[in-house]
Amino acid sequence: MSEDFTQLDYIPAMSAKTDYGIGMIGSGFIVRTCHLPAYREAGFRVEGIVSRTKANAESAAAGFGIPKVYDSIREMLDDPAIAIVDIAVPPHLQPEIIAEAAKAGKHILAQKPLAVTYREAAETVRLCEEAGVRLVVNQNGRFDPAVMAAKDLIRKGFVGKPVFATIELRYKPHWQEYQKRYERLMFLFMSIHHLDQFRFWFGTPNRLFASAIPHPEGLYRGEYSSSYILEYGNGLLASAWDDGFTWDEEGFGVFYKIEGTEGVIRLNIGWPSGGPSRIAYLSRRPGSAWHSPELAGSWFPGAFKYTMNEMFRTLTTGEESAISGRNNLETMAMMEACYMSVREKRSISIAEVMESAVSR
């Protein structure tokens, strides 16, 4: 390894054009704490907002200097000042709103997960492509600075051949009321970040095996803690434990490790503590020591400007985004494979999920 790995290239370049008019659909917690603060910091132009409860939209508009509050989604879609709609609603509601926006000719930044099932997601992508509008999915976990820095190290060959990678989530999520009613929970809302991060680093696996358990006290309908193993054609094995049951607050966090033939990387994204994202890496070369550079930026809310920037970039250059709706179908297929694996108690190939949706 002759390259100087102390210099990390992990901050995404901003689009040459960033003044597209944005319409915000939703005014909940994630909008107020992530979307709008990130857009304000980046100087993006949010033209208007609409929400199920107009008073909530008015409050967000007042807090972030948004000039328009609409009475309905239809009113927003009829506004020529809006080029992009940024949707932040529950996934069971999102496909219908996306379809309506696509028919109106608006480009769409959709919340993740794109839909509740792979089949619904695939239909949503098809509708957007037929309408000729861009669909980008807010897989913001890719844009955490430590995750991006790890990608740069992998790309440069620091770890050599990746051999084993793990993600360990230990945290009791603050589930929203609507999520408590879902029959799908941990894989759908939390694991989808980790599945996509594995995919970002290493590509789509050949197959996976998953297992999950409910909350021991039956408080939620969906799976509450989960584990999954990803198998790659090049011999890489990746796995994750997403533990929503844990109550030991001192152990809360998300911890990552990537081991390769030439180096190892450790990450801590600083969530939920609110601390900075951190990365440390060690080469197998004799005399090497751990290197732990300070990283600029954050996942929350910083990464959210980069997902919107992906939309700006694809509109400006015409190039497909790495988080486009079409590309995101492979992440959704991984999520669907987890449910299939739990249900059928076997490993599932990602191709099987995607092909089965087409054949039905």
> Where does CATH 3.40.50.720 sit in the chain?
22-141+305-321
pLDDT given for residue 120 in this prediction: 98
pLDDT given for residue 1 in this prediction: 46
Among 150, 143, 149, 201, smallest CA distance to 10 is for 149
pLDDT given for residue 36 in this prediction: 98
CA torsion sign for 162, 118, 12, 130 is positive
Residue tagged 């970039």 (tokens): 313
- How does DSSP classify residue 307? H
- CB atoms under 10 Å from CB of 19, counted, come to 11
Question: The pTM is what?
Answer: 0.96
pLDDT given for residue 2 in this prediction: 53
Any idea which fold 142-299+332-342 has?
Answer: Dihydrodipicolinate Reductase; domain 2 (3.30.360)
CB 256 within 8 A of CB 106: no
Any idea which fold 22-141+305-321 has?
Answer: Rossmann fold (3.40.50)
CB 159 within 8 A of CB 260: yes
pLDDT along the chain (360 residues), means of 10: 79 98 97 97 98 97 98 98 98 98 98 98 98 98 97 97 97 90 97 98 98 93 97 98 93 96 95 87 94 94 96 98 98 98 98 83
Amino acid letter, 49: I
> Where does CATH 3.30.360.10 sit in the chain?
142-299+332-342
Question: What element of type H or E holds 348?
Answer: strand 348-349
pLDDT given for residue 18 in this prediction: 98
CA distance 75 to 344: 45
- CA end-to-end span of the chain, whole Å? 49
